[in-house]
Amino acid sequence: MKKTSLSSWHEKAGAKIIDFGGWLMPVQYSGIMAEHKAVRSAAGLFDVSHMGNFYVKGRRALEFLQSVTTNDLSRTVDGQAQYTIMLYENGGIVDDLIIYRIDSVTFFLIVNAGNCDKDFAWLEEHAGAFEGVQLSNHSDQLSLIALQGPKAFSILSRVIPEIDADRLPSFHFRQLPFMGAELMVARTGYTGEAGVEICLPNALAQPLWEALLDAGREDGLVPVGLGARDTLRLEMGYSLYGHEIDQDTNPLEARLKWVVSMEKGPFIGREACRQVELNPRFGVAGFSLEGRALARQGCRVFNADRQEIGKVCSGTISPTLQEPIGTASLVREYLKPGTPVFVEIRGSLQPGQIRRLPFVKPALL
Amino acid sequence: MNVPGDLRYTKDHEWVKLLADGATALVGITDFAQSELGDIVFVELKPEGTVLGEQEIFGTVEAVKTVADLFAPVAGTILELNGVLDAAETVNQDPYGEGWMVKMKVADPSSLDALMDAAAYTEMIGG
């Protein structure tokens, strides 16, 4: 089992630790509800160092990445990041990831922890056709810390005064000094709140973590585990690999059409996407339930005539709305907000309805 | 972890407390169980009058991350459900007090003797 550089800090803080994709990670400190609310009202600090980090370099690096991802990376400028997807030839999803364009021949990729080895092997397998492209896996040397919430930038500017948040637009990043080394600070996140994700050498993870917590204490900054990270992303309707998307899901049937550029030129999986585009059968939608039982992944979903129309991808209680919410992969006729649905939980059908995503609209977005 | 000395415990982390009449008992989940489950959002219980065999499921506890079944520590009949549990977080806050789940008529009070005492339960949870 792998540990992050902050592992002993989490243990000392009394976090509950779980196995997540082969990593020992904090699922909660004070409690999922309290941590979730802290992020929506003040700020939260997340250790997401388990995520994978690759460099892709070379004269043909852009051309290579265009061929293995769905979004149009040529539209980015230096210092910009892009959310994108890697597909199998059959249109199933290898992983979703963020690509950071450092310059025209240097790209940095952040991928899901559970897919890290698979992704690297997939990239290696396809890089051979692009002469001079170099891949390197830095996942064991780099940490990733996310600072998210309405107070995130005022806290960050006390620790890294050079941040100049007003001139750092969403999905842009900047390299900034900290304790004599360089951090990559990106205005990205997985909560819907304002904030950053900071990639840095392992040795600096704990100093930065503690400096941010000290600087943010009076603003209500707290450490946040993977439990609240999940409820926060689900309130926003963001996909999680293994739930809304996986190797059997086509992005056009999972609310991800906006990251699939059919016109940019050939990429692995484009023909499969073209077929799905002509005749999409499923889609992912948000739903809420009237009762108090929570839907879980795999629960069956039925229409008003009690015909099965799909399955739950993710389910939880919304700490903000205080009602059971979730996402489901459904036959396309049932995606419209307001459509009545029934979710089978422990053998009984719980009434609910399709909801517009996101469930929650943070004030600062 | 809080493990009161006057209760009996199961391997599934329920506690049972025989009341003064010697025939009825309160049942709940332990401090360890509520801590492991995390924020509890919903407690669903079988109705009053339900006759339970030992180890039979009498309800479920829904937490944000997970759901757990509740098992009857001993055979008996459900007499009363704790109405306070509409606010399910009570179980997190006071698992041995306000957060009790059901009052039951115990079929055979001596069956409690087969359950763990506080020392044995503490050892089981590694405390």
Q: Which residues on chain A place their C-beta less than 8 Å from a C-beta of chain B?
A: 16, 27-28, 31-33, 227, 231, 292-294, 296, 316-317, 319, 346
Number of residue pairs across A and B with CB atoms under 8 Å? 36
Question: How confident is the model at residue A362, as a pLDDT?
Answer: 72
What is the reported pLDDT for A57? 98
Nearest-CA distance A22 → chain B (Å) = 19
Distance CA A244, CA A256 (A): 10
A197: domain CATH number is: 3.30.1360.120
Its sign, for the CA torsion A166, A167, A169, A175, is negative
Rounded to two decimals, the ipTM of the complex is 0.88
Of B36, B42, B64, the CB nearest to A32: B64
The half-sphere exposure of B124 on its side-chain side, counting CA atoms within 13 A, is 17
Q: Nearest-CA distance from B100 to chain A in Å? A: 19
Q: Closest CB to B39: pick one of A31, A292, A296.
A: A31
Residue B56, domain CATH = 2.40.50.100
**Nearest CB to B44; choose among A27, A31, A293:** A293
Q: Which residues of B touch A (CB under 8 A)?
A: 36, 38-39, 41-42, 44, 60, 62, 64-65, 67, 92
Which range marks the domain in which residue B37 is found? 8-107
- Cα torsion at A244, A249, A255, A260 (round to 10°)? 130
Q: Which of A211, A235, A259 is the last residue of a domain?
A: A235
Per-residue model confidence (pLDDT) at position A110: 98
| Best CA proximity match to A144, nearest among A83, A203, A202, A78 | A202
| Strands (E) located in chain B | 8-9, 14-18, 24-29, 40-45, 51-52, 57-63, 67-71, 76-81, 102-106
Print the domain residue range for A71.
Answer: 52-136
Write the CB contacts of A258 (distance below 8 Å, at least 6 apart in sequence).
Answer: none
Contacts of B61 in chain A (CB under 8 A): none
CATH number at residue A117: 3.30.70.1400
Give the pLDDT of residue A363: 61
* DSSP for A109-170, written as a single string: EEE-GGGHHHHHHHHHHHHTTSTT-EEEE-TTTEEEEEEESTTHHHHHHHH-GGG-GGG--T
Q: What is the pLDDT of residue A364?
A: 46
- Residues whose CB is less than 8 angstroms from the CB of residue A20 and which lie 6 or more positions away in sequence, other chains included: A27, A50, A113, A114, A226
What is the per-residue pLDDT for B1?
87
Can you tell me the mean pLDDT for A180-188?
95
**Helix axes A32-41 and A226-236, enclosed angle (nearest 10):** 60
pLDDT in tens, A39-84: 999 999 999 999 999 999 999 999 999 999 999 999 999 999 999 9
Per the domain annotation, does B2 fall within a domain? no
Omega before residue A358 within 30° of 0, cis: yes
pLDDT above 90 (res A186): yes
Examine the domain organization and report whether A70 and A205 are in the same domain: no
B117 has pLDDT over 50: yes
CA distances from residue A15 to A28, A191, B98 in whole angstroms, order as listed: 6, 20, 26
Number of domains making up chain B: 1
Q: Which residue of A has its CA nearest to B34?
A: A31
Whether residue B77 is contained in a domain is answered as: yes
Whether residue A187 sits in one domain with residue A151:
yes
Mean pLDDT value of segment A257-267:
97
| Residue-wise DSSP of A313-347 | EEEEEETTTTEEEEEEEEEGGG-STT-EEEEEETT
Q: What's the rounded Cα separation, in Å, for the pair A69 and A268?
A: 7
Parallel, antiparallel or unpaired: strands A300-302 and A340-345: antiparallel
With CA atoms as reference, the chain B residue closest to A317 would be B64
Question: Average pLDDT in the A254-267 region?
Answer: 98
Asked if the Cβ–Cβ distance from B67 to A296 is below 8 Å, we say yes
Contact call for residues A266 and A85 (beta carbons, < 8 A): no
Contact call for B42 and A227, based on CB within 8 A:
no
Q: Is A214 inside a domain boundary?
A: yes
pTM of the model: 0.95
Band of pLDDT at residue A365, cut at 50, 70 and 90 = very low
Interacting residues of A15 by C-beta distance below 8 A, sequence separation 6+: A26, A27, A28, A29, A223, A225
3-state helix, strand, coil in chain A (%, to 5): 30, 35, 35
Residues A43, A79 within the same domain: no
What is the pLDDT confidence band of residue B3, given thresholds at 50, 70 and 90? very high
Question: Considering the domain boundaries, does residue A219 fall inside one?
Answer: yes
pLDDT single digits (tens) A100-121? 999 999 999 999 999 999 999 9
The pLDDT of A325-331, averaged and rounded, is: 98
Do residue A33 and residue B39 have CB atoms under 8 angstroms apart? Answer: yes
- Partners of A287 in the β-ladder: A326, A354
Q: Is A197 annotated as a binding residue?
A: yes
Q: How far is CA A277 from CA A91, A96, A265, A271, A313, in A?
A: 11, 19, 16, 10, 22
Query: What pLDDT does A164 receive?
Result: 87
Indicate the residue among A119, A136, A153 that finishes a domain.
A136
- Cα distance from B110 to chain A (closest Cα, Å)? 33
Instruction: Provide the residue count of chain A.
Output: 365
Question: Residue for token digits 């001596």?
Answer: B110
Q: What is the mean pLDDT of chain A?
A: 97
> What residues contact A57, with CB distance under 8 A and at least 6 apart?
A105, A106, A107, A133, A134, A136
Looking at the structure, do residues A195 and A205 belong to the same domain, yes or no?
yes
Is there a domain that residue B61 lies in?
Answer: yes
